[in-house]
Amino acid sequence: MQINRREFLGYGLGGAAGTLAGGLGFPAASLAADTIKVGVLLDTSGPLQMFGHPKSQCLELAAEEINAKGGLLGRQIQLVKYDTQSNNQLYGQYAQQLALKDRVAVVHGAITSAAREVVRPVLARAKTLYVMNMINEGPEGACDRNMFTTGPTPQQLLNNLIPYMMKKHGKKVYILAADYIFGQLSAKQAERIAKEHGGEVVGVDLFPLDVDKFGSTISKIQAAKPDFVFNVFVGPAHGAFYGQWASAGMNKQIPMASHTIGDGGEQMRMPPEVSQGIVTVKNYFDELDTPESKAFIERFKKRFSDYSYVGALAMADYGGLMLWAETVRKAGSIDRKKVIEAFESGVSVEGPGGKLSSHPQTHYCVMDMYLAEIQSSKFKVLESWKQVAPVDANDQTCNVLKMSL
């Protein structure tokens, strides 16, 4: 479905933890149960539901496919799902409930870094394994042996995207980003990469998540005359930028790159002239022309009649549950310590986006990456890279292997 420019200007992208008593022992989750309980914390209502809904569906599909093949360790997987309603306070409440009352083996969930930072300490204290299936700021922002992260890091997304834009358009870049940890560190990485390749950053602007007016910023960009703009826009309000940029005629003058565009399928709702030519890098696109991707999309469409777009964010949940299940198989147990040690010994699965492999040092993942351009409201893949690591070579920002369990 497309909307006109006027409608799009107002269209969004739609982007206190509880405490646990110290020293308590928690029995191994679900060991005596008929099913293996998997906790899910996702925003399936509220401003972030456009991200949370397909992510929840991908977890459902993955669980159903695992169960159809005999389950895990001879038992069926049972998803225990809570709608966190785009409310970080609920993340803390439901994380406690999953760990203490539901006794799940693992929790998958959180969309924003802020939500992750509510959930992560609760689950670590309860010794309940946590998997975050999201693009995020990487181990510089979250380094935790109790957590696996299956979404790409800024290095995976930007090490090829920024040089591509510089080679094609020029060395002067203007950076726009959401003003919270993910946006801040993504902007920092983009600036670093640009300078390492001989580029010049002519401006950096950060925006709170509720900002939806960008007229003054567009004027600043016009005055700075960059060769291209790179943005890290996140959440409902920031979506207004694209319409305002096009209304000012800037989409015809200055090229645009973003590693968040399309995370909610918004490229299909934008007027084509608004999104045309925007370049991105991700670990998955529905348009990926491989047998594995085509088969997955067909299965998804068959299972969910409301299919519009899966995208990289939701695919991370499908891959995340599959990778966790394969790690459990290797461990031969759902015991947290054994599963963590299995992940650190090396494990991988083949999925719709390619091979997804554990990166023991950081607990992030090695994955295939794809560069694409929006053409006629669809992503056209132009380049790809196999098994890209989550951090640069010799990066010692995070080494979870030095942390205790």
Residue 273, helix vs strand vs coil: helix
Query: pLDDT for 117-172, tens place per residue?
Result: 999 999 999 999 999 999 989 998 899 999 999 999 999 999 999 999 999 999 99
Query: pLDDT for 195-218, tens place per residue?
Result: 999 999 999 999 998 999 999 999
Q: What is the mean pLDDT of residues 66-77?
A: 97
Residue 149 · residue 132 · CB < 8 Å: yes
One-letter amino acid at 383 equals: E
Structure tokens at 274: 């608004």
Residue 342 · residue 352 · CB < 8 Å: no
Q: Give dist(CA 99, CA 102) in Å, integer.
A: 6
Q: What is the mean pLDDT of residues 9-31?
A: 36
This prediction's pTM: 0.89
DSSP string over 152-175:
PPHHHHHHHHHHHHHHHH-SEEEE
Q: Interhelix angle for 336-345 vs 311-331, to 10°?
A: 110
Structure tokens at 137: 């700021």
Asked if pLDDT for residue 27 goes beyond 80, the answer is no
pLDDT for 191 equals 97
One-letter amino acid at 332 equals: G
pLDDT for 396 equals 86
Asked if pLDDT for residue 15 goes beyond 80, the answer is no
Contacting residues for 399 by C-beta, under 8 A, at least 6 apart:
143, 361, 362
Matching residue, tokens 């999925």: 351
Asked if pLDDT for residue 12 goes beyond 70, the answer is no
Q: Give dist(CA 177, CA 172) in Å, integer.
A: 17
> Radius of gyration over alpha carbons of the chain, in Å?
21
Domains and CATH numbers, the chain: 35-152+291-366 (3.40.50.2300)
With CA atoms as reference, report the closest residue to 15 among 146, 186, 220.
Answer: 186
**Element containing residue 147 per DSSP (H, E):** strand 147-149
pLDDT for 264 equals 83
Query: pLDDT for 99-108, tens place per residue?
Result: 999 999 999 9
* pLDDT over 70 percentage in the chain: 92
Q: Which range, 6-10, 12-16, 139-143, 235-239, is most confident?
A: 139-143
pLDDT for 98 equals 98
pLDDT for 21 equals 33
Contacting residues for 213 by C-beta, under 8 A, at least 6 apart:
240, 244
Residue 346 · residue 358 · CB < 8 Å: yes
Contacting residues for 119 by C-beta, under 8 A, at least 6 apart:
17, 41, 91, 92, 95, 107, 109, 110, 130
* pLDDT over 90 percentage in the chain: 85
pLDDT for 5 equals 33
The distance in angstroms from the start CA to the end CA of the chain is 49
With CA atoms as reference, report the closest residue to 71 among 348, 335, 365, 334.
Answer: 334
pLDDT for 153 equals 95
User: Taking phi first (over 0 means left), then psi (-120 to 50 degrees means alpha), and beta for anything else, what does residue 31 get?
Assistant: alpha
Q: How confident is the model at residue 311 (pLDDT cuts 50, 70, 90)?
A: very high
Asked if pLDDT for residue 17 goes beyond 60, the answer is no
Higher pLDDT: 27 or 83? It is 83
What are the angstrom distances between the C-alpha of 68 and each of 57, 72, 349, 389?
16, 10, 18, 32
pLDDT for 67 equals 98
pLDDT for 405 equals 87
Asked if pLDDT for residue 26 goes beyond 70, the answer is no
Residue 302, helix vs strand vs coil: helix
Q: Interhelix angle for 49-68 vs 291-303, to 10°?
A: 100
Higher pLDDT: 28 or 192? It is 192
**Phi, psi values for residue 343, rounded to 5°:** -60, -40
pLDDT for 329 equals 98
Look at strands 378-388 and 129-132 and give their pairing.
Answer: unpaired
With CA atoms as reference, report the closest residue to 139 among 151, 130, 125.
Answer: 151
Go through the chain and tell me how many residues it has: 405
Higher pLDDT: 32 or 126? It is 126
